């Protein structure tokens, strides 16, 4: 195992909890409450950037751990990725469809299609099934595609650092062409009719940050990166509702601005700078919450909070607390043991 793979950044784990919580608030904030000021509603409406925060972090961690592995053991790499995200996703996706079957007492071809696309984590390729199964699970299609293609990016970037800029632009352009090419009446499933290829810029912001750190070409003498990045994120959150760009290229510029000037500096600061924010996010409780944040992300919207709302309480704060507690239990007793089991089972000593 490489030194990079062994290295653990506690504050980045706590950061994951914050990103997951932002997405929860985005989904459940009572926007229609007349007592909430408009500026607060506008700010919360941008909390979906928790997804962007995850994507930049994902690009950073994968690159930091595997960029210097030459040659990369692709089999072991993919087994580790699958072990990390798939077992818990499979169980919860099964729970979604079993709950639906119990409640509706029938199954048809449409549900079979939804199930197949959900279990294979390919549903985000089809706009008609984008929110099938676990609704927020569409992001895992993008993660899956990034995991598979990242080793190729590494090969190209090692040849020339220009690929850090060229590749995301090229992938974005190809995505636009494919979307236009598949926008035909007989495209019943809506293949490639969502702009999921926009998010490649976030992954590459993380890739660039990791490479700069590995090459030790990014150093600062003062603790300003944390607060600079956080300030840009706050500026984005507070101002997005007032400059909401709908055009494709304007949206890309937004993502680049947020990822490169906001999220990436924040990640660098949380690793290198001794700040109160780093201390909080690296604390034992936040590390635990961060480790269980993947489960929290998967269950925060779906049949589990619906059952809580119907049979326990409608109070969103209590539901939030209960979801965190359930996430910790599922992480400790199911997700983490299954992660290690899959790695031990399929990663031979020879590999």
- pLDDT tens figures, 272-329: 999 999 999 999 999 999 999 999 999 999 999 999 999 999 999 999 999 999 999 9
Are 202 and 52 a contacting pair, CB within 8 Å? yes
- pLDDT tens figures, 203-234: 999 999 999 999 876 666 677 899 999 999 99
The pLDDT assigned to 334 comes to 97
Kindly report whether the peptide bond that precedes residue 246 is cis, defined as omega within 30 degrees of 0: no
Are 24 and 300 a contacting pair, CB within 8 Å? yes
Cα 190 off chain centre by: 23
Q: What are the angstrom distances between the C-alpha of 106 and each of 93, 110, 128?
A: 18, 11, 21
Q: Report residues of the chain scoring pLDDT below 50.
A: 1-5, 351
Instruction: Dump strand ranges (E) for the chain.
Output: none
The pLDDT assigned to 351 comes to 44
**Listed residue (172, 149, 153, 169) closest to 161, CA to CA:** 153
The pLDDT assigned to 157 comes to 97
Tokens of 47: 């909390």
Tokens of 133: 């199964």
The pLDDT assigned to 243 comes to 64
Burial class (CB in 10 A: 0-12, 13-18, 19+), 238: middle
The pLDDT assigned to 86 comes to 97
The pLDDT assigned to 5 comes to 46
């Amino acid at each position: 195992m490489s030194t990079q793979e062994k290295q653990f950044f506690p504050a980045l784990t706590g950061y994951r909890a914050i990103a997951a919580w932002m997405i929860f608030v985005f989904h459940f904030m009572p926007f229609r409450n007349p007592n909430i000021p408009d500026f607060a509603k506008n700010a919360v409406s941008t909390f979906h950037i928790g997804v962007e925060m995850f994507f930049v972090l994902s690009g950073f961690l994968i690159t930091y751990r595997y960029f210097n592995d030459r040659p990369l053991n692709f089999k072991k790499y993919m087994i580790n990725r699958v072990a990390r995200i798939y077992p818990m996703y499979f169980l919860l996706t099964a729970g979604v469809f079993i709950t639906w079957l119990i409640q509706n007492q029938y199954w048809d071809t449409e549900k079979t299609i939804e199930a197949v696309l959900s279990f294979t984590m390919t549903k985000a390729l089809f706009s008609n099934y984008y929110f099938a199964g676990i609704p927020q699970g569409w992001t895992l299609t993008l993660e899956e595609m990034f995991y598979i293609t990242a080793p190729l990016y590494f090969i190209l970037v090692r040849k020339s650092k220009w690929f850090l800029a060229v590749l995301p632009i090229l992938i974005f352009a190809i995505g636009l062409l494919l979307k236009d090419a598949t926008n035909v009446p007989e495209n019943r499933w809506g293949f490639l009719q969502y702009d999921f290829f926009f998010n490649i810029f976030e992954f590459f912001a993380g890739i660039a940050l990791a490479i700069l750190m590995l090459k030790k070409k990014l150093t600062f003498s003062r603790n300003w990166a944390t607060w600079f990045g956080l300030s840009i994120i706050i500026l984005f959150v507070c101002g997005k509702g007032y400059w909401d760009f709908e055009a494709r290229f304007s949206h890309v510029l937004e993502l680049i601005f947020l990822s490169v000037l906001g999220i990436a500096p924040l990640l660098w600061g949380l690793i290198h700078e001794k700040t109160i924010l780093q201390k909080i996010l690296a604390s034992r409780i936040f590390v635990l919450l961060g480790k269980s944040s993947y489960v929290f992300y998967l269950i925060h919207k779906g049949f589990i909070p619906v059952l809580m709302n119907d049979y326990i309480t409608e109070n969103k704060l209590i539901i939030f607390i209960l979801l965190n507690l359930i996430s910790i239990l599922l992480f400790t007793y199911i997700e983490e043991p299954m992660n290690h089991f899959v790695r031990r089972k399929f990663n031979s000593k020879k590999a």
